[in-house]
A and B are shown apart, each in its own frame.
Chain A
Amino acid sequence: MRYVWLAFLFVVVAALSVLGFRGSLSTRPPLEVFPDMDHQAKYKPQQESRFFADGRTDRPLPANVVPRGRSVEADPMYLAADDHMFRGKTATGEFARGFPEGLEVSHEFLARGRNRYEMFCAPCHGRTGDGNGITKQYGMGATPTYHDDRIRTMAEGEIYNTLTNGKNTMMGYGDRLAVTDRWAIVAYLRALQRAQQGTVDDVKPANRPELGL
């Protein structure tokens, strides 16, 4: 019986040394104890496909397709027909000034713009728009500041166009930001510019003593 106990002890020690402890790092794929229906014959996003030649389940859209089952009456944005809204241009092809119809520049709109700006723009342009984002320390070249006359006087449509399609070394963000979010960022950019041009007149008289004025 002693040998049985010894053999048992050996098995326990061997199992411990082979299997190790919970949470230890491993590059081996997880062991599936009961795989059952874990892997079904269906496609999920960004998975590998053995059927399509490019090896992916996500299929690229053919050119000029539109979603089916919608109408312009129900959704004016559907065909992206509004040049000002979708391309930042007027009917004559110039960059449009002001914000497109249908967008209300409200407090919520600016808050959304700030939220998106700090996620997508601040890494390079800085949270105040001075062009000194964190990436500058890592070798990102001259990121322009928003606080010069060139950009202060730039048409909103041109800023929208830059944001959508990129300019110089900046790549476009049209694939990652919704159209209304891009306009919200344009609005917030205007707010940032305005904030840098504040004067004592912008402070309510009652609050001026707080600033020692």
Chain B
Amino acid sequence: MSKIFPKSANALPLQIVLFLAVAGTVATAAVTYWVTPKYTRVGYAPTQPVPFDHALHAGQLGINCVYCHTNVEKSEHSNVPSTSTCMACHSIIKKDSPLLAPVRASFETGAPVPWVRIHKAPDYVYFNHAVHVNRGVSCVECHGKVNEMQVVKHDQPQSMSWCLDCHRNPELRIRDSKDVYNLDSETLAAQGRLEEAIARVHDWKIKPPQSCSGCHR
């Protein structure tokens, strides 16, 4: 009887199993690495209609976040400023700059500047800016050091597990009230004031929800 399979085929079942094991491991690693907001969202830095430089305005000039994002302390939504906010200075400073032409056009006609949104929670997430900043969660926790960004990028993954990391241990993430808009400041815990932070979590009744309906309604 002639041989149907060559002798080397004896090793084949083992090799196939080995290959499937390696391929499975690599595929799992690939999904873990790429199929997550840490990859899909972090680093998103779209080109904006006006090249607004946060590093200049918020960093170098030291203009407070709230000067433009006025509603952050009282609303769920942290607003993009109206163009009249820009024009408070830019009707005088760099008033003829071609880069600011869309702002001037918006100010004159009332048409919005088509800013490109960077951070976007899914529509089934009900995030509230005011309750976070008013309890000592700084902008920098979710948005990174915007005061050093010439072009704003998506800095943190903002995935659900990332939210829960903080919701489970708020005392590690909160700041002194005066430091909330100071993006170079450190958390109370990082300053060695953990006890103060724990006391504040208790006194201010900071109870970040961990149940589904806390954020999904």
Please indicate the chain B residues that have their CB under 8 angstroms from the CB of A15 in the complex.
30
Please indicate the chain B residues that have their CB under 8 angstroms from the CB of A1 in the complex.
12, 15, 19
CB distance from A143 to the nearest CB of B (A): 10
A169 on the interface (CB 8 Å rule)? Answer: yes
Please indicate the chain B residues that have their CB under 8 angstroms from the CB of A28 in the complex.
44
CB distance from B32 to the nearest CB of A (A): 11
Please indicate the chain A residues that have their CB under 8 angstroms from the CB of B77 in the complex.
44-46
* CB atoms of A119 and B64 under 8 A apart: yes
Interchain CA distance A49-B15 in the complex, whole Å: 58
Q: A27-B46, A30-B41, A30-B154 are in contact. List 9 more A-B contacts (CB 8 A).
A: A8-B19, A22-B39, A26-B45, A37-B122, A37-B124, A38-B122, A39-B123, A42-B123, A45-B79
Partner of A54, one of B45, B111, B123: B111
* CB atoms of B123 and A37 under 8 A apart: yes
Interchain CA distance A31-B40 in the complex, whole Å: 5
Chain A contact-residue range equals 35 or more
Interchain CA distance A29-B120 in the complex, whole Å: 11
B166 on the interface (CB 8 Å rule)? Answer: no
Interface residues of B, dominant DSSP: loop
Which chain B residue shows the least CB distance to A20? B39
Interchain CA distance A140-B88 in the complex, whole Å: 10
Interface flags for B47-82 (1: CB within 8 Å of A; 0: not) read 100000000000001111011001000010101101
A44-B77, A119-B64 given; A169·B19 CB < 8 A:
no
* CB atoms of B46 and A8 under 8 A apart: no
B23 on the interface (CB 8 Å rule)? Answer: yes
Chain B contact-residue range equals 35 or more
A138 on the interface (CB 8 Å rule)? Answer: yes
* CB atoms of A23 and B42 under 8 A apart: yes
A27-B46, A33-B35, A38-B123 given; A119·B66 CB < 8 A:
yes
Interchain CA distance A23-B38 in the complex, whole Å: 7
Which chain B residue shows the least CB distance to A47? B117
B209 on the interface (CB 8 Å rule)? Answer: no
Interchain CA distance A150-B167 in the complex, whole Å: 53
Which chain B residue shows the least CB distance to A1? B15
A24 on the interface (CB 8 Å rule)? Answer: yes
Please indicate the chain B residues that have their CB under 8 angstroms from the CB of A140 in the complex.
89, 92-93
Closest 7 CB pairs of A and B: A40-B123, A38-B122, A45-B77, A119-B64, A30-B41, A31-B40, A176-B70
Listed A/B pairs (30) with beta-carbon separation below 8 Å = A8-B22, A22-B42, A22-B43, A26-B45, A27-B45, A27-B46, A27-B47, A30-B40, A30-B41, A33-B40, A36-B122, A37-B123, A38-B124, A39-B122, A45-B79, A46-B79, A54-B110, A118-B64, A119-B66, A120-B64, A123-B67, A124-B89, A139-B92, A139-B94, A140-B93, A141-B92, A169-B91, A170-B88, A175-B84, A176-B70
